[in-house]
A = this chain, B = another copy of it.
Amino acid sequence: MSLTAKTPEVPASAKRELLLDTAWALFCQNGYRAVGIDTVLAKAGVAKMTLYNHFASKEDLIAAAMDKKAAEILAGIDQTVAGAGRSPQKRLLAVFDWLEAWLSSETFTGCAFLKAVGEYTAGSDKPRLAAAAYKQALQDRLVTLCTEADLKAPATLARQLMLIIDGATIHADMHANSAYATDARSMAKALIEAAAK
């Protein structure tokens, strides 16, 4: 899967990466359909033909930006987990430290993956597929962490933790309040302790 590929199929290009990052920031803030191609180009300072030389369509740009950020975010999570010491439970809870840091950050404007689910509904739309792939990759990591922590029903628990993470994310966005991360963390802690064998 492209999420874990070490060597990207598409060669890196400065302008290409700039477009992906700029597009991500704008879509993240305002949603996908609300932001036009021209807005992205203006902010990036890139010509329109450069965009269409790198991407076949706006949807392709969106999906590519999502894939790139997914890889970056997952790497960040892995790093947070790796820096959380050796206790399996602490490593699992470190995901919620990462969540709290994100929801509290000044630049937080909601989860662009969740927004993609709301805006693209066909099921075969590339942004929706990219969103589902990212969330699945995160869930897979949680399954691994739950298993390593020797918890009961790791697959079920991982799904439940995903519900908590995304619920907190969308509520933090909706009410412009990062305190939901605390609720999420305490809930996760309770569930994890209850699942200890």
Contact = CB atoms under 8 A, between A and B. Distances in A.
Interface of A: 29-31, 33-34, 109-110, 114-115, 117-121, 123, 128, 131-132, 135, 156, 159-160, 162-168, 170-171, 173-176, 180, 183-184, 186-187, 190-191, 194
Nearest to A132: B174
Contacts of A131: 174
Nearest to A136: B175
A163 B187 contact: yes
A79 to B, nearest CB: 25
A156 B132 contact: no
A contact face: mostly helix, strand, loop, or mixed: helix
How many subunits of this chain does the assembly comprise?
A: 2
Nearest to A34: B33
Nearest to A120: B31
A119 B119 CA distance: 8
A173 B166 CA distance: 13
Contacts of A31: 33, 118-121
Nearest to A28: B121
B33 A119 contact: yes
Counting from the closest, the 4 A-B pairs by CB-CB distance are: A167-B167, A163-B167, A115-B118, A33-B33
Contacts of A110: 117-118, 121
A60 B139 CA distance: 38
Given A33-B119, A118-B119, A166-B171, 10 more contacts: A33-B33, A114-B114, A128-B174, A159-B180, A160-B183, A163-B164, A163-B187, A166-B166, A166-B170, A170-B170
